[in-house]
Amino acid sequence: MKITLVRGDITEEKVDAIVNAANSSLLGGSGVDGAIHRRGGPEILDECRRLRASHYGGGLPTGQAVATAAGRLPARWVIHTVGPVYSATEDRSDQLVSCYRESLRVADELGVGSIAFPALSAGIYGWPLDDAARIAVGTVRATSTLVAEARFVLFGDDAYAAFEEAAASPSRP
């Protein structure tokens, strides 16, 4: 699989699927989640509400992923996943690994050829950028998938630099 790094806004990516850093309510929030719902329009939220009613009454568990249509976004699908809130006292990296793996599994089910990820958990959920980048790149590299291209779409120079360094290092997810 080809892995590329891009600076910018994930809502503008022309890929088959973009990944949303959602929360378990699936009803929107700020950060990437807010931007996706704002630019994608109400179709995404309507489908999230239906998913809640049919499958996720208790919320989408951390580390899992589920797809909806992408409304007015250039992508075809949005894959919503719930990253773990960072904890300095408890190692939750398995849950972050699971977000990337599960997103790729859902992408395979949909026949996605190209996917764009934000730096999951590295904003409001507080994950240190270097570690978030190492887990992201390491996991995507190590996951067997039919997806041909994974793009990491990074907001800001610090995030880009962290992912550049992770991409240049041998992986240890």
Binding site for ligand AR6 (CB under 6 A): 9-11, 21-23, 29-33, 35, 83, 118-125, 153, 155-156, 159
- Cα(173)–Cα(163) distance, integer angstroms: 14
Nearer to ligand AR6, 113 or 126 (CB): 126
**Closer to ligand AR6 by Cβ: residue 23 or 143:** 23
Tell me how far, at minimum, the Cβ of 162 lies from ligand AR6, in Å: 9
User: Catalytic one among 16, 33, 46, 130?
Assistant: 33
Nearest distance, CB of residue 136 and ligand AR6, angstroms: 10
Q: How far apart are CA 100 and CA 157, in angstroms?
A: 22
Measured at the alpha carbon of residue 125, what is the angle toward residues 154 and 99, in degrees to the nearest 5? Answer: 70
Distance in Å, CB of 83 to ligand AR6, minimum: 4
- For the bound state, the minimum distance from the C-beta of residue 114 to ligand AR6, rounded and expressed in Å, comes to 16
- Residue number, 35 or 104, with CB nearest to ligand AR6: 35
Q: Decide if 33 is catalytic.
A: yes
Q: How far is CA 96 from the centre of its chain?
A: 10
At 3 the three-state DSSP class reads: strand
Q: Which is nearer to ligand AR6, 111 or 156 (CB)?
A: 156
Residue 23 to residue 8: CA distance in whole angstroms: 22
- Listing DSSP states for 81-115 in one string gives EEPPPP-SSS--HHHHHHHHHHHHHHHHHHT-SEE
Beta bridge partners of 5: 152
Q: Which residues are catalytic?
A: 33
